[in-house]
Amino acid sequence: MKKVLSGNEAFARAAYEAGVGVVSSYPGTPSTEITECASKYKEFYTEWATNEKVAMEVAIGASLGGKRAMTCMKHVGLNVASDPIMTLSYTGVNAGLVAIVADDPNMYSSQNEQDSRHYARFGKMPMLEPCDSAEAKRFTKEGFAISEEFCTPVLVRSCTRVSHTQTVVELEDRVEAPKFAPENDIQKWVMIPANARRKHKIVENRQEQITELAESDKYNPYVIRDKSIGVVCAGVAYNYVREALPEASTLKLDMVWPLPMKKILAFSKLVDKLYVVEELDPFFETEIKAAGIKVEKLERSLCGELSADAVCALFEGREYEPETDTSLPFRPPNMCPGCSHRGMFYAINRLKLFVTGDIGCYTLGLLPPLKAINTTVCMGASIGMAHGLDKAADGMSQKSVAVIGDSTFLHTGINSLVNTVYNRGHSTVVILDNTITGMTGHQPNAGSGCDIHGEPVPKIDYVNLCKSIGVNPDNIRIVDPFDITKCMEVLKEETSKKAPSVIITNKPCIFADRSVIEESYFIHEDKCSGCTICTRLGCPAILWDAEKRVAHIDETLCTGCHLCIKVCKFGAIEQRSK
């Protein structure tokens, strides 16, 4: 049966058909839907892990235990998981293990634009790269076979365009995966130096064997059309080349590492001019040139995405300007109406505190009018950076706070808080607990009280957790983020202390708990003084009528969070039901 699937749905389907036993992941756009879709198959176990390193370790444990295992993450998640997977390359696997990593060219929802192909070369692991949903399913299934044949983890690289676009996929039945007994092999699984030195030689030998596989006709096919131009490409870039240069000869690299250099050389001899078309870094181009094969120069940017039009422009030697649809209304990024983070950011802004921020929807607190984020580096960085500020600049702990979400705190922030306490820091940490992983589409986490299937599970108690780390109970405060006065009072008190302190907000994301939504508010025009204080909250539901010089509430957006009435000094705002 054929079905139209997104790339992410196809990756999940591959796990089902390949007889996978365990999938453990941390959400991150554009990879999130893989595990969400996988969780709908009852034939195997799925879970949200607390971070990508943990997810990778769970997958390793499942492989060791004899079950095929898969883990999925976005490109920056592979940085977090890189520690275990680099050594996994040495230990090898028991049952097959596939890690899917989704890159985000053009950074639609990411803090950097890294190219994950470097990890395959760095870790000496094979990497496959599909160009559509059908290949996403096929390559993932083949990844398990390669993993088991060569005793290696296999990386499958996706990108936003493959993960989120839909193509036709042929559905197949789930197969019984090969049987693997749990392994107890100390020389294989314990990477003390003596064992690791021996395994390094095995890894290098394995690399040569997989290179021979890459040279075979099964992978990396080339098609000779017009011999005047030959293009080496892979993944979504192959689609762009086929559309832009339909007559060009192509060598499509299904296995993007290790590279089949003999086949590339043979292809180069069949065409007059050899080109490489790839997104982001000149990964193929550098390797091919290093092998002594001539590659024609293309003036290509190393930033952002390609497209069929962009490839046309490359070969025509002209500047490429992507078309933009100006008919669409401008929609600036903003926190949602009723967001539980807004009140705390407003209080922070009023106190003019320096904020080390973190990755999450609350990063939007950096935008005007709140302007309450000064740094954002990576998941969990806020607390460590606040500690560094404290140690480097006298008095900064009294002028700054670290702001982090609940999921991000559990991801990697908790380690930094332990470090702050252990090293006698004075930082104040604000945990914006909205009980959900909001940024990636409201996946539950260890603080949500439910698992990936919505089943009840033990819920993290942040107060007791912080106490157990060593934070003085007197320095752990819970506040209602919609109570601005109280937020400011607590912020002043905690930042003044010469000790680590934690402030925890206690209101859920309106999408995680719709019961918090109340009747909307409206503004009496005759009472509004035009002071604009309510508009400084940055709530999308509060508008400004420039002609009348009064504020106005869009009641179709208002969630009745009460925040605006906390700042209006003229009693101009009332709830509709009152």
Q: What is the CATH number of the domain that holds 256?
A: 3.40.50.920
Same domain for 261 and 365, yes or no, is no
Quote the pTM value.
0.95
| pLDDT tens profile 551-577 | 999 999 999 999 999 999 999 999 987
pLDDT band (50, 70, 90) for residue 202: very high
Kind of pairing, strands 476-479 and 501-505?
A: parallel
534 is in an annotated binding site: yes
> Each residue of 447-477: pLDDT tens digit?
999 999 999 999 999 999 999 999 999 999 9
Mean pLDDT of 500-506: 98
CA–CA gap between residue 311 and residue 256 (Å, rounded): 20
Please say whether the beta carbons of 99 and 127 come within 8 A.
Answer: no
For 208-224, give the secondary structure using H, E and C. Answer: HHHHHHHHCCCCCCEEC
Does the pLDDT at position 505 exceed 70? yes
Question: Taking the CB of residue 388, how many other CB atoms lie within 10 A of it?
Answer: 17
DSSP structure class, residue 44: S
pLDDT digits (tens, 9 = 90+) for 236-280: 999 999 999 999 999 999 999 999 999 999 999 999 999 999 999
Asked if residue 228 and residue 144 are part of one domain, the reply reads: no
466 belongs to an annotated ligand binding site: no
Helix 484-495 vs helix 342-351: angle between axes, to the nearest 10 degrees?
Answer: 50
Cα distance between residue 519 and residue 392, in whole Å: 48
Under the banding of pLDDT at 50, 70 and 90, the label for residue 206 is very high
- Does 324 fall in a domain? no
292: pLDDT strictly greater than 70: yes
The verdict on 20 and 59 lying in the same domain is: yes
93 and 182 in a single domain? The answer is: yes
Residue 578 has pLDDT above 70, yes or no: no
The CATH number covering residue 542 comes to 3.30.70.20
Final residue before a domain boundary, out of 215, 247, 271? 215
In percent, how much of the chain has pLDDT > 90? 93
Average pLDDT over residues 317-324: 80
Q: Kindly tell me if the per-residue pLDDT of 134 is higher than 70.
A: yes
Mean pLDDT of 210-216: 95
Residue 431 has pLDDT above 90, yes or no: yes
Structure confidence at residue 334 (pLDDT)? 87
Of the two residues 109 and 29, the one the predictor is more confident about is 29
Structural domains in the chain (count): 4
**Residue 328 falls within a domain, yes or no?**
no
Instruction: Let me know whether 274 and 371 are in one domain.
Output: no
For residues 122 and 202, state if they share a domain: yes
Q: Which of 505, 530, 556 is the last residue of a domain?
A: 505
Query: For residue 211, is pLDDT > 80?
Result: yes
Whether residues 350 and 275 fall in one domain: no
The verdict on residue 539 lying in a domain is yes
- Per the domain annotation, does 265 fall within a domain? yes
Which of the four pLDDT bands, split at 50, 70 and 90, describes residue 333?
A: confident
Q: Are residues 114 and 207 in the same domain?
A: yes
β-sheet bridge partners, residue 452 = none
72 annotated as a binding-site residue: no
182: Cβ contacts below 8 Å, ≥ 6 apart: 64, 65, 66, 94
Does residue 513 lie in a domain region?
Answer: no
Please check whether residue 466 lies inside any domain of the structure. yes
What number is the average pLDDT over the span 427-455? Answer: 95
CATH classification at residue 436? 3.40.50.970
Asked if the structure places residue 275 within a domain, the reply is yes
Domain hosting residue 278, numbered range:
222-316
**Same domain assignment for residues 352 and 483:** yes
Examine the domain organization and report whether 20 and 154 are in the same domain. Answer: yes
Residues 405 and 541 in one domain: no
Q: What is the Cα 212 distance to its own chain's centre?
A: 33
* 126 and 156 co-located in one domain: yes
Residue 221: pLDDT over 90: no
Q: What does the pLDDT read at residue 219?
A: 86
Domain boundary among 165, 188, 215: 215
pLDDT reading at 329 higher than 80: no
Query: Residue 336, annotated ligand binder?
Result: no
| Residue 131 marked in a binding site | no
Is 528 annotated to bind ligand?
yes
Mean pLDDT within 178-202: 96
Q: Is residue 325 part of a domain?
A: no
Mean pLDDT over residues 142-163, rounded? Answer: 98
Average pLDDT rounded to a whole number, residues 38-67: 98
Q: By the 8 A CB rule, do 397 and 425 touch?
A: yes
Q: How confident is the model at residue 323 (pLDDT cuts 50, 70, 90)?
A: confident
State the average pLDDT for the chain. Answer: 95
Report the chain's terminal Cα–Cα distance, integer Å: 57
